[in-house]
Structure formats: C-alpha cells, structure tokens
C-alpha cells in the first residue's frame, strides 16, 4: 500500500507537506500543491481517514439529508449544486433520503453523529418550515426550508415573494388587467408568499382582483394533494366574462391550463396568456407553446447552502439567518 512517505519521496517534499495537500490545508504553494496532487494520482495514494479523524476530529465528510429531493427530477438540481461545491472543497458528500418519515430522519441524524460527520445540509423538496424533535448539535444549514422554532438558523430558500411579484408584473406589462391565479396548495409557504406578491403587485398598478378568479389547483392535505387545475381552469375560461391571463402555482398547473384552453378553442397566447412557476423544463420547454415561467434557482440554492456550511466549518460565525435567492422570469411563448 502506498504511504504518505512514498508520495513525499516521489515529489521530494516532507511528509507534512503531503499531509497538508491531502487535507486541503493552507500554506502550500500552488506549484508544490500541483506536484503533490499529481503524485497522489500517479501512485494511487489514499489518505488514512481514520488517522485524520483522530488527529483533527474532522471526518472530511458533509452529510446531506433530504426528504424526497434525491428522487424528484425537478428538485435534484439542489443536490448537483451541493455536490459541485463540496467536491471543489475536496470534501466527501454522504446523501441520506428520509422519504418523509420522521423515524428514518432521526436514525440518520444519529448515524451522522456516530460517524462524526462534519456538518449537515438538510434539504426539502418544497419551501416549507420544518421542526426537529431532537437534532444533534452539529453545524447545520437548511436548504429550501426554514426552521419553525429557530428563525435565525442558517437557511437558503427561493424568494417566492419576489418571483410572484415578477410574474404578476409580466402579465400587467403585457397589457392584461383581467388576471386569474390558480395557486398551489394554500397551506404551503410558497403559495402564501406568491399570493401576497400577487395582491401587492396588482395594487401597485391599481388593478382590481376578482376573488372568483383566484383558486387552488390542488385539493387535499399537504403531501396528499390531488391535482384539479384542469377542471378549475376550464370552469374559469368557459365563461364569457373570463380572465385573459392566468398565473399559476407551478408548471404542472400551467400545463393543465394549456390543455383546458385548447379544449375550449382558446389560443395561447393570443386569447389567453399563461405564466408558470418552477421552470421544470421537462414541462416548460416541451409543451406547445413553451411556457413563460418563473425559475426556481435550485442549483444555486444547493451551491449557496454548501458554501455557507463550509464557511461555518471554517469558523465564520456570521453565517446565520435566512438567505433568499432571486427567482428570475424565463420568457418563452405562452405569455
């Protein structure tokens, strides 16, 4: 087995220098670092992580706990963002999926603590508040969620209010003043924030909201919803007195609105503008016409959350509080 001394002899440096490079420590010149890294790759040297743990009390491993993020296509970009940042920092990433079960989550926290994971990223599929029954006191950054009982806990979330405001202004700027809104489940934070943004943006232009044109596109409890957007959209659009633009809670709802409009012989965007939310490109870029939508910056959320956790592990005490990332509008052909 190749040892640290073999690498040091191959490069002509001290064992300590090789150790610093292997552990991504400072005080090594770029040239020496490159030579040591090349020798590590050539010789196949694998650092002794057990010895490193004893010496530094750091495992070099970041834990990522998700509910269903790792198995959901439209939010898996969170993991990509985390992975890229953790890899760049020469750390390892251990992903554990809870499937939304609290008993599994508790077991994962315990396992991470037993294996001395350096820090944890806790990610949820949709923006929500989470509560922890008992969480080990290891550095943690929340991803796409906030803590119900710890409002200052480090977190990175999308700015759903800003995204909702941008979507409403897009419809208004296109000349629409008869705007309907088919929302997500009203019980979730994203629906609450985007709904408030809709009200505020309409008020900013002095445009009245028709209450009968603001309806939920899902029925049922959170996590048990049934999509009803098609029927809701048809009901709104079949009336003589109907909206000329529909804002939607996500791209899945927007797609149902497209189908409803087509079933009634309405052209999009000539007769009806439709604006989605998420930019889930398996839908938004594939439907006809392609959706104008507000993008959830999942990849950037993952990157930024990882950056914040790495900063905390490096001793930066300023990384507290909730950070909201912009949700830009992606203009396509639907509105």
Instruction: Identify which has the larger pLDDT, 6 or 174.
Output: 174
Query: Which pLDDT belongs to residue 99?
Result: 83
pLDDT digits (tens, 9 = 90+) for 185-202: 988 899 999 999 999 999
CB 255 within 8 Å of CB 283: yes
Instruction: State whether residue 176 is helix, strand or coil.
Output: coil
Class of domain 160-295: alpha beta
Mean pLDDT value of segment 306-330: 92
On the question of pLDDT at 159 being above 90, the answer is yes
Q: What percent of the chain has a predicted confidence (pLDDT) above 90?
A: 61
Please state, in angstroms and rounded to a whole number, the distance separating the CA atoms of residues 49 and 46.
Answer: 9
Instruction: Identify which has the larger pLDDT, 7 or 233.
Output: 233
Query: Which pLDDT belongs to residue 280?
Result: 92
On the question of pLDDT at 333 being above 60, the answer is yes
pLDDT digits (tens, 9 = 90+) for 237-270: 999 999 999 999 999 999 999 999 999 999 999 9
DSSP state of 28: -
Q: Quote the distance between the C-alpha of residue 240 and its chain's center.
A: 40
Class of domain 61-158+298-325: alpha beta
On the question of pLDDT at 298 being above 50, the answer is yes
Query: Which pLDDT belongs to residue 29?
Result: 86
Please state, in angstroms and rounded to a whole number, the distance separating the CA atoms of residues 192 and 127.
Answer: 11
pLDDT digits (tens, 9 = 90+) for 99-146: 888 889 989 998 998 888 999 999 998 888 888 877 768 999 999 999
Q: Kindly state the tokens that stand for 54.
A: 């004893």
Matching CATH topology for 4-47 and 61-158+298-325? no
Nearest CA to 185 among 161, 152, 151, 220?
A: 220
Query: Which pLDDT belongs to residue 54?
Result: 45
Task: Please tell me the pTM assigned to this model.
Answer: 0.81
Domain residue extents for the chain: 4-47, 61-158+298-325, 160-295
The band of 58, judged by pLDDT with boundaries at 50, 70 and 90, is: low
Query: Which pLDDT belongs to residue 176?
Result: 98
Instruction: Identify which has the larger pLDDT, 21 or 308.
Output: 308
- Side-chain half-sphere exposure of 5, counting CA atoms within 13 A: 1
Q: Which CATH architecture has domain 4-47?
A: Orthogonal Bundle (1.10)
Please state, in angstroms and rounded to a whole number, the distance separating the CA atoms of residues 327 and 236.
Answer: 28
Complete DSSP assignment for 61-85: EEEEEESSGGG-TTTTHHHHHHHHH
Cross-strand bridge partners of residue 273: 245
Nearest CA to 196 among 236, 153, 160, 238?
A: 160
H or E element, residue 275? strand 273-278
């Amino acid at each position: 087995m190749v040892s640290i001394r073999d690498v040091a002899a191959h490069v002509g440096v001290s064992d300590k220098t090789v150790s610093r490079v292997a552990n991504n420590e400072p005080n090594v010149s770029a040239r020496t670092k490159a030579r040591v890294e090349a020798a590590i790759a050539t010789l196949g040297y694998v650092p002794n992580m057990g010895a490193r743990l004893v010496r530094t009390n750091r495992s070099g491993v970041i834990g990522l706990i998700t509910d269903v993020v790792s198995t959901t296509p439209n939010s898996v970009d969170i993991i990509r963002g985390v992975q890229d940042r953790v890899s760049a920092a020469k750390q390892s990433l251990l992903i554990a999926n809870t499937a939304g079960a609290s008993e599994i989550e508790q077991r994962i926290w315990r396992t991470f603590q037993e294996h001395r994971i350096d820090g944890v990223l806790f990610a949820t599929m949709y923006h929500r508040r989470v509560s922890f029954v008992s969480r080990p006191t290891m550095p943690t950054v929340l991803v796409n969620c906030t803590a119900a009982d710890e409002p200052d806990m480090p977190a990175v979330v999308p700015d759903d209010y800003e995204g909702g405001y941008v979507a409403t202004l897009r419809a208004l700027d296109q000349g629409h003043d008869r705007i309907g809104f088919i929302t997500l489940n009203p019980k979730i934070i994203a629906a609450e924030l985007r709904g408030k943004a809709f009200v505020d943006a309409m008020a900013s232009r002095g445009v009245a909201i028709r209450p009968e044109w603001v309806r939920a596109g899902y029925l049922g409890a959170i996590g048990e919803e049934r999509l009803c957007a098609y029927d809701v959209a048809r009901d709104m659009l079949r009336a003589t007195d109907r909206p000329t633009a529909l804002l939607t809670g996500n791209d899945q709802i927007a797609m149902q609105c497209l189908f409803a409009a087509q079933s009634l012989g309405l052209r999009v965007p000539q007769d009806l503008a439709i604006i989605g939310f998420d930019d889930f490109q398996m839908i938004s870029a594939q439907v006809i016409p392609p959706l104008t939508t507000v993008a959830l910056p999942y990849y950037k959320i993952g990157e930024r959350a990882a950056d914040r956790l790495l900063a905390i592990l490096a001793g930066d005490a300023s990384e507290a509080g909730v950070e909201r990332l912009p949700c830009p509008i992606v203009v396509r052909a639907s509105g």
